[in-house]
């Protein structure tokens, strides 16, 4: 006898739009309230302010908003949140009965809605599942390596396009290494690079919990619910636009794109959030949790030092055009994202097995 499987706690609920709107409202409100003092400060006051504290608090606001939305979500009837899965299970069972004549005389099963289980808070925010461990580790390592490669490849690509002063001899790195060693470091470049790359990966691992605050909100909570309602393509765009707008107060305070008019900086951040956020969403959905995306986010921050290493001495770097932060740096992640959306239909499919 075929019995419909219960809907597991990892199943994404069909969250009402009013609850999703509350998540967006809380995330934007909290983020802007934390960022507003920085906007109102003079440049002198801002240089003396504890910027790391403001930034770290800002990064946690999506997780707080996701928790608030989850508490509202738990007040909804289970058949509202998971009825779509119950109906699908009932349809599958009916097909099985139609295809197996021996099942025709069986008594109807209990309504699948009675087997529904509410999603746990850790599943709702993408913190779990953590198993299979091999899958989690594999996707986390991929997230680290992929975004290190993106950050590094953006530099010669920017050089080829004429928007980044790429110098493979790494003059600034050699100069810094020589000052630390107290002697000419030319013969120690290979060892120095290996050590510095190791430090980048170490910083990425140590910084993952801070970046997890972002991922719990945008990719842990919001993206799967939008993808369920409107499909992954729309979810990539909508999540990217909302998270890009969330950065507005930091952009107005001069973060990320210094000396750039705020609306131009916002347009750049929207492009970054859609393209890079789309690749992060792929890591989140394929792994089943936010951790690979959080490691990738942490790598983006840690690998930002690379553009200093490879810059030609005495030349300015325009972050609007170069590095992973600039337009030329979006080319490779953008090609990957387009390829996933066009050729890999299940790239953003939901992972529900533990």
Handedness of CA 254, 257, 259, 261 (dihedral sign): negative
Q: Which residues contact 346 (CB under 8 A, 6 or more apart)?
A: none
SS3 content of the chain, % helix, strand, coil (to 5): 70, 0, 30
Q: Tokens 């996933």 label which residue?
A: 340
pLDDT over 90 (residue 218) = yes
Show the tokens assigned to 144: 């680290």
How would DSSP label each residue in 233-270? HHHHHHHHHHHHHHTHHHHHTT-SSTTS-HHHHHHHHH
pLDDT over 90 (residue 35) = yes
- The three-point CA angle 260-264-270 to 5° equals 120
Distance, in Å, from the CA atom of 306 to the CA atom of 313, rounded to the nearest integer, reads 14
What's the pLDDT at 101? 55
Q: What φ, ψ does residue 131 adopt, rounded to 5°?
A: -125, 150
Please say whether the beta carbons of 273 and 297 come within 8 A.
no
Count of structural domains, the chain: 1
Distance, in Å, from the CA atom of 344 to the CA atom of 108, rounded to the nearest integer, reads 38
pLDDT over 80 (residue 117) = no
Question: Which of 221, 219, 223, 218 shows the shortest CA–CA distance to 245?
Answer: 218
Q: Tokens 């325009």 label which residue?
A: 318
Domain-located, residue 112: no
Domain-located, residue 210: yes
Question: Which of 65, 74, 62 shows the shortest CA–CA distance to 13?
Answer: 74
Q: How confident is the model at residue 353 (pLDDT cuts 50, 70, 90)?
A: very low
Q: Tokens 């394929």 label which residue?
A: 286
CB-facing half-sphere around the CA of 280: CA atoms within 13 A: 33
pLDDT over 90 (residue 183) = no
Domain housing 282: 17-83+123-343
Domain-located, residue 170: yes
- Reduced to 3 states (helix: H, G, I; strand: E, B; else coil), residue 166 is strand
Q: Which residues contact 79 (CB under 8 A, 6 or more apart)?
A: 86, 113, 116
Domain-located, residue 58: yes
Q: Tokens 């599958």 label which residue?
A: 92
**In which region does residue 26 sit, left (phi positive, over 0), alpha (psi from -120 to 50) or beta (all else)?**
alpha
- Each residue of 273-318: pLDDT tens digit? 999 999 999 999 999 999 999 999 999 999 999 999 999 988 899 9
Share of the chain above pLDDT 90, in %: 70
- Reduced to 3 states (helix: H, G, I; strand: E, B; else coil), residue 316 is coil
- Count of all residues that appear for the chain in the document: 354
The DSSP code for 311 is: B
Domain-located, residue 192: yes
- For 36-43, what is the mean pLDDT? 93
Integer angstrom CA distances of residue 341 from 110, 300, 329: 38, 23, 19
**In which region does residue 257 sit, left (phi positive, over 0), alpha (psi from -120 to 50) or beta (all else)?**
beta
Domain-located, residue 239: yes
Least reliable range by pLDDT among 155-159, 171-175, 238-242: 171-175
What do you get for the CA distance between the two ends of the chain, in Å?
Answer: 24
Q: Report residue 167 CA to chain centroid gap.
A: 31
Least reliable range by pLDDT among 186-195, 288-297, 331-340: 186-195
Partners of residue 166 on adjacent β-strands: 311
Domain-located, residue 97: no
Domain-located, residue 107: no
């Amino acid at each position: 006898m075929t019995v419909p499987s219960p809907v597991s706690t990892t199943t994404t609920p069909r969250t009402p739009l009013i609850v999703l709107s509350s998540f967006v409202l809380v995330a934007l409100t909290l983020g802007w309230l934390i960022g507003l003092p920085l906007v109102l400060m003079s440049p002198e006051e801002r240089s003396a302010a504890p910027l790391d504290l403001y930034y770290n608090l800002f990064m946690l606001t999506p997780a707080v908003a996701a928790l608030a939305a989850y508490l509202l979500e738990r007040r909804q009837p289970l058949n509202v949140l998971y009825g779509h899965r119950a109906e699908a299970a009932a349809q599958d069972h009916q097909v099985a009965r139609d295809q197996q004549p021996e099942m025709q005389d069986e008594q109807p099963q209990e309504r699948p809605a009675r087997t529904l289980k509410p999603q746990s808070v850790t599943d709702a925010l993408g913190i779990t599942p953590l198993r299979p461990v091999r899958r989690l580790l594999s996707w986390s390592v991929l997230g680290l390596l992929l975004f290190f490669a993106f950050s590094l490849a953006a530099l010669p690509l920017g050089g080829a396009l004429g928007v980044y002063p790429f110098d493979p001899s790494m003059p600034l790195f050699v100069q810094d290494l020589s000052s630390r060693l107290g002697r000419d470091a030319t013969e120690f470049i290979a060892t120095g690079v290996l050590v510095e790359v190791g430090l980048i990966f170490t910083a990425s691992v140590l910084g993952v919990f801070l970046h997890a605050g972002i991922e719990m909100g945008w990719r842990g909570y919001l993206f799967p619910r939008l993808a369920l309602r409107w499909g992954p393509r729309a979810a990539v765009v909508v999540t990217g636009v909302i998270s890009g707008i969330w950065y507005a107060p930091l952009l107005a305070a001069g973060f990320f794109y210094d000396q750039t008019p705020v609306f131009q900086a916002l347009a750049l951040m929207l492009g970054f959030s859609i393209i890079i956020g789309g690749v992060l969403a792929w890591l989140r959905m394929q792994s089943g949790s936010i951790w690979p995306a959080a490691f990738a986010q942490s790598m983006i921050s840690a690998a930002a030092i690379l553009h200093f290493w490879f810059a030609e001495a005495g030349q300015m770097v325009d972050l609007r055009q170069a590095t992973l932060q600039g337009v030329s740096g979006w080319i490779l992640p953008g090609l990957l994202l387009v390829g996933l959306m066009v050729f890999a239909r299940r790239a953003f499919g939901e992972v529900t097995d533990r």
